[in-house]
Structure 1
Amino acid sequence: MSSALRINIDGLYINAQALRYNSKKSELLVFKTGKKVYANVPPLYLRGVALNRVERYKYLGHWVSDNLSDDEDLERERRALAVRCNMLAQRFARCTDSVKVTLFEAYCQSFYTCSLWVRYTQRAYNALRVQYNNEFRVLLELPHYCSTSEMFTTRRVDRFNAIIRKRCASTLRRLRISSNGILSTLADRWNSAILRHWIRLHSD
């Protein structure tokens, strides 16, 4: 099937389903397979407009890369965490520790889409974990050399690894009870990369 014919079929499907796409907000992302690089990719047109090819794309706030690495999204979360914590430290410096802990749990533990992080370097993961620990010290005005385990345990606050495990377990539970047959099937596939990663997080 030629690329021109395929584009024509896509256009017919768009019209039949009464869908509307904004070609100015659409981009082309070609995922790599291992070390294979697709250099000669023919141009793709959406309603007559050629789509710009990119190496990464931000979809619903989550960075997706052509090499399927999650390092970019971990870095996004690390920077966002730093901004939120610095704001809390400045505005609520005179509050009690209990108030600061409540604010920290409300604004600094969301880790949006963290359950989708599967392929990342240990360096990127550790950078986010260290940022989380340091920001908690700054907010509570603790010395930089204080024990990480002690400062979280005494205040009954989840550590970074515990939060990640809870988020992954919650996502897996929602997938398995989903009425969508595709999602529930993917959640039960033992050869799934994301399921293997979730299991490893809980076994470590």
Structure 2
Amino acid sequence: MKRVDGSFVNNISYADDMVLLRVLSPSINALKVLLGICERYSVAHGLKYNVKKSEILVFKSGTKTYSIPPINLDGSPLQTVTKFKYLGHWVTDTLKDNEDLERERRALSVRGNMLSRRFARCSREVKITLFKTYCQNLYTCNLWSNYTQKTFSALRVQYNNAFRGLLGLPWRCSASAMFAEWSTDGFHAVLRKRVASLWDRVRGSTNTLLRVIAERVDSPHITHWMTMHVRSNEHYVFH
């Protein structure tokens, strides 16, 4: 099980998506116990797990590796992976967010190109409204805290180019100037607002575990969130 400030957490569930957590060292018996509980529950309630969509991911600790024996769910072996998508967010064995930033960059490229093609004849006011609706959501961006500058910059450039392409602006025009001229949030402003919104909801939550996270100012996410607001746009901390 995973300990969060003294509290044990062995599963995270949302609707029908479940994640079981277990520190594997020195054994994986506890994980098998958790899976056994799930199997008995499914039988008692007439449910069935989708084994093909169930996977095992072992988080790395430095260069240390683990040898995982076969683990079964409902009699079928589970595949061991290095990453999996949970609620649309990529989780990797290195705990880095580069994979998820790249997911969002590709999705932003698709949305930007679609808007440019379909709404080329619309007014700039309509285009800006479409951009704010379809290009500023940056799904799960408020969870990003461990990424490389290269991956981060690639997403920022994609965001700027989506706005330039939709409005038909020169590719070398100043990003800060064009967003200011058209009263639209730039990339960093969107991130700060999304982070502030999540932070506000976490601090206002009555959930015990979320309260622990909100009160631990030394947690990686809180530290990163504070960095984003205290430092200027040009001085982000990368890992």
Task: Report the TM-score when normalising by structure 2.
Answer: 0.80
Contact map agreement 2:39 2:74 (CA 8 A) in 1: no
1:7 to 11, 32, 36: 32
Counterpart residue number, 2:58: 30
Partner Cα separation in structure 2 for residue 83 and residue 12 of structure 1? 42
Matched residues, number: 203
Shift of 1:179: 1.9
Counterpart residue number, 1:194: 221
- Unmatched tracts of structure 2, length 5 or more: 1-25, 232-239
Kindly report the root-mean-square deviation, in angstroms, between the aligned alpha carbons of the 2 structures.
1.8
Q: Please state if 1:160 is matched with 2:192.
A: no
Shift of 1:12: 3.4
Partner Cα separation in structure 1 for residue 189 and residue 118 of structure 2? 28
C-alpha change, 1:23 and 1:185, in structure 2 (3 Å) is same
Partner Cα separation in structure 2 for residue 179 and residue 5 of structure 1? 29
Partner Cα separation in structure 1 for residue 211 and residue 31 of structure 2? 31
Alignment of 1:104-143 (within 5 A): 104-143=131-170
Greater mean deviation of Cα atoms: 93-102 or 7-16: 7-16
- Unmatched tracts of structure 1, length 5 or more: none
Give 3-state SS (helix, strand or coil) of 1:53's partner.
strand
Partner Cα separation in structure 1 for residue 82 and residue 32 of structure 2? 22
Partner Cα separation in structure 2 for residue 9 and residue 95 of structure 1? 55
C-alpha change, 1:187 and 1:2, in structure 2 (3 Å) is closer
Paired amino acid for 1:57 = F
Shift of 1:178: 1.1
C-alpha change, 1:54 and 1:2, in structure 2 (3 Å) is closer
Partner Cα separation in structure 1 for residue 75 and residue 41 of structure 2? 18
Percent identity over paired residues: 52
Greater strand percent: which structure? Answer: 2
Greater mean deviation of Cα atoms: 76-85 or 170-179: 170-179
Give 3-state SS (helix, strand or coil) of 1:144's partner.
coil
Task: Report the TM-score when normalising by structure 1.
Answer: 0.93
Give 3-state SS (helix, strand or coil) of 2:52's partner.
coil
